[in-house]
Amino acid sequence: MDPLSHLLSLYPVQTALDVRCRFGAPWVLQHGGTPRGVAPYHLIVHGEAHAGELTLQTGDIIVFPQGGAHQLHLGDPAGATPPRSVPGLLRLESNDGDGPQTDILCGEFHFDLDGSAGLLAALPSVLVVRTAGRPEAQSLRHLLRMLQEEAETPRGGSEAIIRQLASALFALLIRTWLEQSLAVPGLFGVLAERRLQAAMHGMLTAPEKPWTLEALADTSHMSRATFARLFKQAANATPAEVLTQLRMARAARLLEAGRHAGDVAEAVGYQSEAAFNRAFKRQYGASPGAYRRGGASRNPD
């Protein structure tokens, strides 16, 4: 498994796609803030939209990973008429504007509240990916076209097809964002830094190993000092902090699969179950036993 696929497998994301907007200018789409762990997104399938100082065109995708309140519009928002809602496979929002038309697909990414904190911290407050005329975005552009076709002309199986296509959206979005961005923070910054990829691969594929700073530096053919400096610059965290985060994410997936805490502790590199329990509880707010029985939302043992 490649490093990005491995990383994303540790942080499962649920994707909801439930609204289709068809607006004629002037129009405005107000979106209030969402709870932590819910990231709204908008796919511009046709036309133009403005979000703050950003101008979005056909094929652009905008995501708000931190769930911030935002407004999309075209034309003078003061002259926009209230949208009408029509139920359907995807709820249709439309208006009476007779200006240039914009079609948008809207949904949300849902992250695990506690376990995905590191992943969310690595994402900007506003994430924009452009697909028009971008060779690296070809797969994402094809996915958007298929979503648009199924949403606009529903046929047998359209609901299942939209659900399956939407589930691939986040991975394609992140891959394209990494390929388009000059500077990427956090966990993704380590993946984007070619010189650190071997160390990241080692931590992802063998979290049970007794990784030391020297051992990680050796995988990257660097001195300890150079490796530590480059890693901190890319991840805004130390190698030990990232290793712990990856180990706890892996532990959560194993606990969800029904593995016992003692087995999981060994699988992620802890010789002491007590030390593993403390580390896991700091990350997830619940003991491994409580998490295995019902997730971090349950009360600890």
Does residue 274 surpass a pLDDT of 70?
yes
Q: Is residue 174 within 8 Å of 182, Cβ to Cβ? A: no
- The pLDDT confidence band at residue 295, using thresholds 50, 70 and 90, is low
Q: Is 272 in contact with 262 (CB distance < 8 Å)?
A: no
According to the model, what pLDDT value does residue 147 have? 94
For 137, the token pair is 């975005």
Q: How confident is the model at residue 177 (pLDDT cuts 50, 70, 90)?
A: very high
Mean pLDDT for the chain?
92
Q: Are 111 and 11 in contact (CB under 8 A)?
A: yes
Q: For the segment 186-235, what is each residue's pLDDT rounded down to a tens digit? A: 889 898 899 999 999 999 999 999 999 999 999 999 999 999 999 999 99
pLDDT at 298 over 70: no
Q: Which helix (H) or strand (E) holds 55?
A: strand 54-57
Identify the residue with better confidence: 299 or 257.
257
Question: What amino acid occupies position 80?
Answer: A
Q: pLDDT class for 92, splitting at 50, 70, 90?
A: very high
Report CA 57 to chain centroid distance, whole Å.
Answer: 22
- The pLDDT assigned to 270 comes to 96
At 172, the pLDDT band (50, 70, 90 cuts) reads very high
Confidence of residue 181 (pLDDT cuts 50, 70, 90): confident
Question: Tens digits of per-residue pLDDT, 24-59?
Answer: 999 999 999 999 999 999 999 999 999 999 999 999
Residues 106, 51: Cα–Cα separation, whole Å: 14
Residue ranges and CATH numbers for the domains of the chain are 12-181 (2.60.120.280), 187-296 (1.10.10.60)
Burial class from Cβ neighbours inside 10 Å (0-12, 13-18, 19+) for residue 21 reads: buried
CA angle at residue 46 from 44 to 51, to 5 degrees? Answer: 40
Q: Is 296 a residue whose pLDDT tops 50?
A: no
Give percent of the chain with pLDDT exceeding 70.
97
Q: What is the pLDDT of residue 299?
A: 39
Dihedral angle at the C-alpha atoms of 231, 237, 241, 243, nearest 10 degrees? -40
> pTM for the full model?
0.88
* Helix (H/G/I), strand (E/B), else coil: 295: coil
